[in-house]
Each structure stands twice: as C-alpha cells, then as structure tokens.
C-alpha cells in the first residue's frame, strides 16, 4: 500500500513543482483575482496554495491511473478468509481467495 501511495504522490509532487514554476512565471500572484475580487494574501501564501492545488490535481490523476490499471483478479479478490465469508457467498466452500 505504501509503495502504491509513493507511485501516486512522488510523480504528482514533481509535476506540481513544474506546473507552479510555469504558472507563476507567467502570472503575478498580486494581480490574481478570485471571483472578480483581488486575492488579499501574500505571495508566499499564494505560491503555497497554488503548489498544493497542483499537487492535489496531479495526485488525483495518478490515483485514477492506478485505480484503472488494476487487474480483474485484484478487483474481484475477496479480502475475507474462507471461514469468515457470508453464508450466501457463492464461493464459501471453496479454498481460493475469490469470493
């Protein structure tokens, strides 16, 4: 699980750094407006919020990729041992891990 989490967060961190560098080299944080109102935050706060926003979007994209690349075995695997499966489970009497 922690390995898969690193597959998601580390590339997202790198992409967020690049996206922030590109975005804030084109736009000055002091000139930004949010719903027509000027943003009353300092430059460092806007840089930080922008980085975490980019990191969140990139992490969501990487997480979706990891979610969609799962094999049918991973999707259909039953996490319960054979003895703990419900009585109406179609594979309760079988010893394989699929439920």
Of the two residues 91 and 39, the one the predictor is more confident about is 39
What does pLDDT average to over the chain?
84
Closest CA to 46 of 35, 22, 25, 30: 30
pTM for this entry? 0.69
Q: What are the structural domain ranges in the chain?
A: 2-68, 74-99
CA distances from 49 to 12, 24, 52, 81 (A): 15, 12, 5, 45
Q: What percent of the chain has pLDDT over 90?
A: 38
CA distances from 39 to 48, 51, 92 (A): 14, 16, 59
Least confident of 5-9, 19-23, 60-64, 85-89: 85-89
């Amino acid at each position: 699980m922690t390995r898969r989490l690193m597959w998601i967060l580390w590339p997202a961190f790198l992409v967020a750094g690049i996206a922030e560098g590109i975005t804030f080299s084109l736009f000055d944080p002091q000139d930004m407006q949010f719903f027509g109102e000027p943003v009353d935050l300092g430059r460092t706060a806007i840089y930080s919020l922008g980085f975490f926003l980019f990191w969140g979007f990139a992490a969501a994209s990487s997480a979706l990729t990891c979610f969609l690349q799962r094999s049918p075995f991973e999707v259909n695997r039953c996490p319960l041992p054979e003895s703990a499966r419900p009585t109406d489970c179609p594979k309760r009497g079988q010893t394989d891990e699929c439920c």
